[in-house]
Amino acid sequence: MTDIIRSVKDLIEIHGKPKREVYLDSENSGLIFPEALEEMISCYRETGYGHPSITHKIGWMSYEKIFKSTQILADFINSSVDEIAYFHSGTEANNVAVTGLARAYKNRGKKIIVSSIEHFSVIFPAEKLENYGYRVVKIPVDEYGFINVDSLSNAVDKDTLLVSIAAVNHEIGTIQDIRGLVEIVKDKNPQTIFHTDAADALGKINFDVDRLGVDLATFSGHKVYGPKGVGVLYIKEGIKLEPVIYGQLSTQRLWPGVENIPAIAGFAKAIEIIRNNFDTFVFHMRSLRDDLIDGLLENIPYTLLNGPKGDRRAPDNVNVSFLYCEGEALTIELSMRGIYVSSGSACTSRLLEPSHVLLAIGRKHEEAHGSVLMKVTPMHTIEDVKYVLSQFPQAISRIRSLSPLKPEE
């Protein structure tokens, strides 16, 4: 770690401080609303530092903070407070949704269906269950990441316990027709439970659990410009889950230990800000997204947009493959220019493996390796986008000049 820090400092000294800094890596960990941060600080100082299950004044105040925060989220997704369970990340929530469901319904069915572009926190626990007699079926997608509905319909049968399909894909921003997919699944087997990883949907599209008909839905604090360290699982009334870790319970029956109340409060404050500005934020992000996509595709040759265009794409998502360009090298070059992005697959870039999402939509390995993922936020400005567009052609040109791969003459 020390060597990495030293290398970064050396690069900064060599290249100098960038004229501007634009953080576009909200896929991995993002910017936080200042008001959400202040809410967390206030919580630590005044109301949320106690144990919410202890019967004294500070415990009561801490419990009240959790309850009020939960009410904000429940109202936003149209659920009851009793249908909300807290974890310490979206990854934990996804694991409980898959593994906890299998533990709770051991005799209902042994088939689990996921899309081929799900987050690894859904795919990996599902595959782990194969060691216990479960069968995992991965549904293919088209070139834009949309589910093949015929394959889904054909896969669902009386042995299907769970279907898990993300409402918005975390890498390419594809917005699935979750309501329509739920109807397909329930028509084939009303007992099949439908889970959606909605971490990248919350705050980006209208998300109403009752209208969509989902049984389980996952959310994450840092994906809505709140803090890291808090995840949520919506659990429809009547759905059973078993815990995956054990210990002393507080207010959460599925995850033992003391709740991260300041993070929960910060998450709720972020939701409150988004709720009060939803249409404005979505319009703003969509405008920045389109400017960024159009500017990159029009001004840099040999580029490919990954995922759909327009209203069927998340308003914050920009994922572009730059041919004859290695994505890891490009992230370093852009970083020296004050532009922070992720490459390949945001969750696996250090392994230098191509994104399973991009491979699933038909990209070649070299196209996936040359991809860059960026996400705009309500806090970004048009000046930020202009700066990014001014720097990208130079960065691409430099990295391509070093690459052994060249366009065919």
Residues marked as catalytic: 347
- Cα separation of 67 and 100, whole Å? 24
Residue with tokens 């390949």: 344
The residue type at 305: L
281 neighbors 272 (Cβ within 8 angstroms): no
- Cα separation of 59 and 206, whole Å? 35
Q: Which two tokens stand for residue 67?
A: 């309850």
Output the furthest CA–CA distance in the chain (Å, rounded).
Answer: 77
Cα–Cα nearest to 275, from 39, 73, 135: 73
Report the residue count for the chain. Answer: 409
Dihedral, CA atoms, 50, 248, 229, 197, nearest 10 degrees? -130
225 neighbors 47 (Cβ within 8 angstroms): no
- Cα separation of 37 and 77, whole Å? 22
Contacts of 39 (CB under 8 A, 6+ apart): 262, 265, 266, 268, 269
Rg of the chain over Cα atoms, rounded to whole angstroms, equals 22
30 neighbors 223 (Cβ within 8 angstroms): yes
